[in-house]
Structure 1
Amino acid sequence: MATNESLRLNLGSLRSAMTLTLHTHHASRIWHGRAPAEGRPGIVGLNGYIAVMNKMKRGAEQDDPYSDWWMLRIEEKLEQTKSALQSLHEQVERALSGVPPALSIGENLNVQPVKLPLFVNAQLGFSAVYLLAEYDDIARKLILAHHTALIDRGTLERWLHEGGHALRSLFSLAQQYRYSGCTRDDFAARNAAARAALEKLGDLPQDVLEGTRRSRFAPPIIRRGLQQHSKPVEDAAERAEGDVDASEAPETTEEGEEPV
């Protein structure tokens, strides 16, 4: 008979299939981002943001204080973005409240929505997925409000831009993250790797450096043995820069979609 210990050792990882359904081109463009082109910079999308969050979480697991600092910054930015979208949602609901009681209007849904598979390993990645779903809902209601003469074209475009800008500002901040290649032990020893990280990436708040302040979603730190450092900051930064390019996405117009 197998022991409890052997049963635990034979268990695999938990997995759950997840998909995100989007109904508007506006939300789909934010998912994909835009690849850089001649004379035009790229725009990181939600898929690129999620990749950065996964790297950031691994960095925090490896006791990189810069990864912990970035998790705190992203967590604060997520709250700001959530607040901006909630305010926009309230404005849209006020506009839709102008429909007379005698008129019944159903939800504005796409007959062929896009379904995107999700592979997210970081909680801060999921938080942004929820915000994109919220923006998609806002966009659907805005398009419906314009179609039913509750808002004009200028208001439609302005509010769509405000919501999209809030999300892209979040993704743009995340794109600046770089893994230092150092641990807190390096900073305690004030070795060459720590000095190079400070010079390249700047100072850290003392409570973050000491590990007393971390994100509420920070993972447990995995303690490994002494690590050998060979150009840790430069190599890690170069790897990070190569990993966060926005995925290519076809150009689409900024016109609002009309409900079917």
Structure 2
Amino acid sequence: MATQESSQARRQTKREQVGSFKYIENPKVELLTNVAVYLWSGRENVPGKPFIMSMPQLLRRTRNMEAAIREDDPWADKAYLALQEGIDEAEQAFLAKKEELEAVVNEGHSRIQFAEVVNKSTVTYEVRDHSRLGFRALEVLMLADDTARLVMEAQHRGRIGGREKTLLVKSIESIFRGMMSHVSKWRYFGVTRDDVAANTKPAQSAREAMGEIEADYLEGRLRSRFAPDLPTKRLQVSEEEAPITEEDIQAEVAKMTAAAKG
């Protein structure tokens, strides 16, 4: 009996591996401004100055958060949704500010023609920790970098003054740090929804550190659209996700077809 179960488990593992992929080498990001380099690097604890999370630390914590979600941690699910919403808000803020700054940079007399701006040098970093929201956070970092570059160009062309430049740079940093702050609100305790139902020691520790978990997160009703699937082998302490219907499939096919036609 044990041999049969072991064989079934091996077949299941092989099925799960089919279609999976990995990068031949780690992705890289190219940064154009000192502002983005500062956002990437953060700051360790030093006397008289507060700790500032680095981008590699955010990426590592986001990867760990996804792993905890797969283990059925409801607090990780909650923090993951908050991070997604923070990313969405930061992305929209940078897109709006980028559009505004592009208009400022392009103001001026029509017969003054500027060549395309290029950076004398750039900085490239390797992305070692991969996750869905981690990659989305990297996209926001690129937008922050683009926005900061426009700030520098606007000052160079005399479109904004030094005080305006400083305020804009500080606002870029503030928006990005606000997005990053969501991962600091979660800690790993190895807790599951079954632990919460049984009020085990991990559940008590998680509750003490992160507060009571709301029913919508505990029962799986409120989750990020990017969140990993919950484990299939678990007690019935949360609602099952609504099954995908034929109507859902047809609607998605129609959407893809319309997009292909432009």
Per the normalisation by structure 2, the TM-score is: 0.77
The unaligned stretches of length 5 or more in structure 2 are 1-12, 236-262
Match of 2:239 in 1: none
Three-state SS of the structure 2 residue aligned to 1:42 is coil
Answer 1 or 2: higher relative contact order, Cα 8 Å, separation at least 6. 1
Moved more, 79-88 or 139-148: 79-88
**Conserved? CA contact 2:79–2:185, under 8 Å:** no
Match of 1:67 in 2: 76
Match of 1:183 in 2: 192
**Conserved? CA contact 1:45–1:168, under 8 Å:** no
Three-state SS of the structure 1 residue aligned to 2:119 is coil
In structure 2, the CA distance between the partners of 1:39 and 1:164, relative to structure 1 (3 Å rule), is: same
Shift, 1:77, TM fit: 1.2
- Corresponding position: 1:42 with 2:48: no
- Corresponding position: 1:160 with 2:169: yes
Match of 1:15 in 2: 23
In structure 2, the CA distance between the partners of 1:111 and 1:65, relative to structure 1 (3 Å rule), is: same
Moved more, 203-212 or 59-68: 203-212
Shift, 1:8, TM fit: 9.2
**Residue type at the aligned position of 2:52:** I
**Quick one: distance in 2 between partners of 1:6 and 1:173?**
36
Moved more, 159-168 or 198-207: 198-207
In structure 2, the CA distance between the partners of 1:140 and 1:15, relative to structure 1 (3 Å rule), is: same
**Quick one: distance in 1 between partners of 2:14 and 2:73?**
34
In structure 2, the CA distance between the partners of 1:67 and 1:96, relative to structure 1 (3 Å rule), is: same
Shift, 1:105, TM fit: 1.9
| Superposition CA RMSD, Å | 2.5
Query: What do residues 182-208 of structure 1 show as CA deviations (whole Å, max 9, x unaligned)?
Result: 111112223343234323321112121
Number of residues of Structure 1 aligned to a counterpart in Structure 2 = 222
Shift, 1:224, TM fit: 6.3
**Residue type at the aligned position of 2:178:** S
After superposition, residues 215-234 of structure 1 pair within 5 angstroms as 215-222=224-231
Three-state SS of the structure 2 residue aligned to 1:105 is coil
Percent of residue pairs bearing the same amino acid type: 27
**Quick one: distance in 1 between partners of 2:42 and 2:66?**
22
Identify which of 92, 101, 108 aligns with 1:99.
108
Shift, 1:133, TM fit: 0.6
**Quick one: distance in 2 between partners of 1:164 and 1:150?**
21
Match of 2:160 in 1: 151
**Quick one: distance in 2 between partners of 1:207 and 1:7?**
32
**Residue type at the aligned position of 2:191:** C
**Residue type at the aligned position of 1:182:** V
Match of 1:248 in 2: none
**Quick one: distance in 2 between partners of 1:85 and 1:59?**
30
**Quick one: distance in 1 between partners of 2:16 and 2:170?**
51
The unaligned stretches of length 5 or more in structure 1 are 227-260
